[in-house]
Structure formats: C-alpha cells, structure tokens
Structure 1
Amino acid sequence: MFDIKSEVGIYKSATRNDDMYEDIEISEKQIKACQVKDAKIALKETRIKNGL
C-alpha cells in the first residue's frame, strides 16, 4: 500500500542528505583554495563587527 507520508519523509531525508553532501563538497573546495579562516579569529571579528 502506498503511504504518502512515508514517501514524503523519505524524500525529505534524501534531500537533506544531498544538501549536506553538497555543503561538504563546497567546504572541501574552500579548504583547497585556502578560502578559510581560523574559527576563533572569525568569531572574534564577528563579535567586534556586531559590537558584542
């Protein structure tokens, strides 16, 4: 029997996984291109920028 709720859940799960893997791929490309910052420095800059 076809259960639309189950199918929608499977679709959403697969879509989230695709998005996650796409984000990982983008991150890997940024790392290779040296387009990353140290997290502590980036956080400090963000706090200063936003007056925190």
Structure 2
Amino acid sequence: MAAYFGHLLEKGKPDGSKYSPDSPLAYCDRIASWHPKRDQPNGSLIREMIQD
C-alpha cells in the first residue's frame, strides 16, 4: 500500500498535475479495510510515509 501511494505521489494525476498528500490519506483507511483483518496494513506507517 505504501508503494502504491508513493507511486501516485511521484507520478501524479493522469492530466500531469500532482496529487496533494491529503488525497491518498483520505482513502488510506478505506483501502486498508479492503484487506482481510489479518493482512491489513498499518495505517500509521502509511501516514508517516506520505507526510515525509
């Protein structure tokens, strides 16, 4: 999940503009909840990576 968000932030939107770091954060918990309970990523680590 961290790699995917990092990819989004580096590549940007399809129109060439950049994503705000708030955009992936808005979906972080929702995407994490799609994983089975035992495999859910640590949302706090994802948030730290995005903030950096």
With the shorter chain as reference, the TM-score category is under 0.3
Q: Looking at CA atoms only, which structure, 1 or 2, has the larger radius of gyration? A: 1
Q: TM-score, normalised by structure 1?
A: 0.26
More helix by share: 1
